């Protein structure tokens, strides 16, 4: 009865277009009242759930990503990607995948990444003869892959939800992202020959050298993040502060195209987004408590029980559930509502926590760009002359297939996720 009343309230409020965070909070209050529990528990739970040190990394990374995008670092990375792979057939399309990998290291927000890549890459893709639906597919698939490249906000939140090291998750994401990126690049090569996509430019060492010099400033960040985490030089929170300071110095003293008023506005937006994320995480804790009280973990354990004998099947089933949550509720609600319920079952059957978190991160990334409701996909379509979801889906299904193939490789080969954090001594 408690869970029925909670879920019914949540669904009704979503249908009425109430923001998810308030729908979760109201559903939690209704659940507490139906269960006869004191409402004082709401306040104490909100405070406790928001007191996580790793969450301090969110405003730093969001501020740094927004500042770098405003300064124009995404343009430099686009030129580097085009110089690297533009000489092959379909090279401009492949450069979208490459720059998505680079830019994800800078931008913590997927929506900001879609906006930056859409504005920077959509016009040249159209001029080169790519159909709007193909251009949107490339940007959507590349950004979905980039979910695994730190410093994604989702990784920070899921590390807090599952009580894992954010640094371990950051390191664990690099290789799986490259695997999915490789699957997408193979697809682009095939599509280029089938659809007659042109070469972007001839191979030119001088152009590559010029592009490398232009992108040297933003490329420092992935080197610092990967090297610092691997060597244990700093935590995720400290890394956020370092990247934010570097972004500020680069924008003000190298690019010199961002005013102090713009810096303050970006800092304000980063603070607002952080408040939303922390409030969502805190409110969802009540929801999780009520799910545990009503026996939802046991029910999911029973439902997923037949898959427990094969961990890869279990991970696949949970990943599909997470993907659907990510498509309907966006990424963060999927992390704070579903994953805490399923995570104990995964660890009980021997799935490594870091591997589990990486698989769910990849699934949420795909869900954000899955038709018809993926919010990231809908934003990408805005840059493609607002083509309809139905028209786009006919061109997008090969990219979804490539993303699923990459996801299955990650699921079936756990060492792809565990190699870097294990070699850095962060996990066993």
CB atoms within 10 A of CB 214: 17
The string of pLDDT tens digits covering residues 283-320 is 777 776 776 666 666 666 677 777 777 889 989 988 98
Q: Is the pLDDT of residue 107 over 70?
A: no
Task: Name the more confident of 265 and 299.
Answer: 265
Extract the tokens encoding 332. 């963060």
The reply to whether the predicted model has a pTM over 0.95 is no
Nearest to 110 by CA among 77, 70, 139: 139
CA–CA separation, 377 vs 78, rounded Å?
20
The string of pLDDT tens digits covering residues 353-397 is 999 999 999 998 898 888 877 777 777 787 777 677 788 888 899
Q: Is the pLDDT of residue 108 over 60?
A: no
Q: How confident is the model at residue 407 (pLDDT cuts 50, 70, 90)?
A: very high
Q: Is the pLDDT of residue 230 over 90?
A: no
Place of tokens 């609600």: 333
Q: What pLDDT, on the 0 to 100 scale, is given for residue 416?
A: 95
Task: Name the more confident of 178 and 39.
Answer: 178
Q: Which residues pair with residue 199 across a beta bridge?
A: 89
DSSP annotation of 352: -
Q: Is the pLDDT of residue 110 over 70?
A: no
DSSP annotation of 198: P
The per-residue pLDDT of the chain, averaged, comes to 82
For residues 199-203, average pLDDT: 75
Q: Is the pLDDT of residue 406 over 90?
A: yes
SS3 annotation, 64-104: HHHHHHHHCHHHHHHHHHHHHHCCCECHHHHHHHHHHHHHH
Q: How confident is the model at residue 131 (pLDDT cuts 50, 70, 90)?
A: confident
Q: Half-sphere exposure of residue 6, counting CA atoms within 13 Å on the CB side?
A: 24
CA–CA separation, 48 vs 230, rounded Å?
31
CA geometry: angle at 119 spanning 116 and 124, to 5°?
A: 125
Q: Is the pLDDT of residue 174 over 80?
A: yes
Q: Is the pLDDT of residue 2 over 90?
A: no
CB atoms within 10 A of CB 273: 20
Nearest to 226 by CA among 405, 6, 82, 420: 420
For residues 316-345, average pLDDT: 79
CA–CA separation, 216 vs 104, rounded Å?
16
Place of tokens 């279990």: 314
The string of pLDDT tens digits covering residues 181-196 is 999 999 999 988 888 8
CA–CA separation, 285 vs 364, rounded Å?
20
Q: How confident is the model at residue 264 (pLDDT cuts 50, 70, 90)?
A: very high
């Amino acid at each position: 009865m408690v869970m029925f009343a909670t879920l019914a309230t949540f669904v009704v409020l979503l249908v009425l277009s109430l923001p998810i965070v308030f729908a979760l909070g109201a559903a939690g209050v209704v659940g507490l009242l139906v269960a006869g529990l004191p409402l004082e528990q709401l306040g104490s739970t909100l405070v406790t759930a928001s007191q996580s040190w790793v969450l301090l990394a969110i405003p730093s990374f969001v501020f740094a990503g927004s500042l770098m995008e405003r300064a124009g670092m995404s343009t430099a990375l686009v030129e580097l990607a085009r110089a690297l792979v533009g000489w092959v057939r379909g090279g401009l399309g492949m450069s979208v995948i490459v720059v998505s990998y680079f830019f994800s290291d800078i931008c913590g927000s997927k929506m900001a990444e879609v906006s930056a890549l859409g504005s920077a890459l959509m016009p040249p893709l159209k001029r080169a003869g790519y159909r709007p639906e193909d251009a949107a597919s490339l940007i959507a698939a590349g950004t979905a892959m980039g979910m695994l490249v730190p410093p994604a906000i989702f990784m920070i939140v899921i590390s807090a939800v599952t009580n894992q090291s954010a640094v371990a998750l950051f390191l664990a994401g690099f290789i799986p992202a490259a695997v999915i990126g490789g699957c997408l690049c193979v697809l682009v090569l095939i599509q280029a020959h089938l659809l007659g996509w042109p070469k972007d430019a001839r191979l030119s060492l001088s152009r590559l050298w010029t592009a490398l010099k232009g992108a040297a400033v933003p490329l420092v960040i992935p080197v610092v993040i990967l090297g610092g985490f691997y060597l244990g030089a700093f935590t995720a929170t400290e890394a956020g502060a370092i990247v934010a300071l570097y972004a500020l110095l680069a924008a003000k003293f190298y690019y010199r195209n961002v005013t102090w008023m713009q810096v303050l506005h970006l800092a304000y937006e980063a603070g607002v987004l952080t408040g939303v994320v922390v409030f969502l995480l805190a409110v969802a804790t009540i929801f999780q408590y009520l799910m545990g009280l009503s026996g939802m973990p046991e029910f999911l354990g029973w439902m997923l029980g037949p898959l427990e004998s094969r961990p890869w099947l279990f991970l696949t089933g949970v990943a599909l559930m997470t993907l659907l949550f990510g498509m309907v509720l966006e990424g963060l609600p999927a992390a704070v509502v579903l994953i805490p319920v399923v995570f104990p079952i995964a660890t009980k059957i021997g799935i490594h926590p870091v591997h589990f978190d990486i698989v769910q991160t990849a699934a949420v990334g795909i869900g954000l760009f899955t038709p018809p409701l993926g919010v990231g996909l809908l934003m990408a379509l805005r840059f493609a002359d607002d083509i309809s979801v139905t028209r786009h889906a006919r061109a997008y299904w090969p990219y979804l297939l490539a993303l699923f193939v990459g996801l299955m490789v990650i699921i079936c080969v756990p060492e792809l996720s565990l190699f870097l954090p294990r070699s850095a001594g962060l996990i066993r």
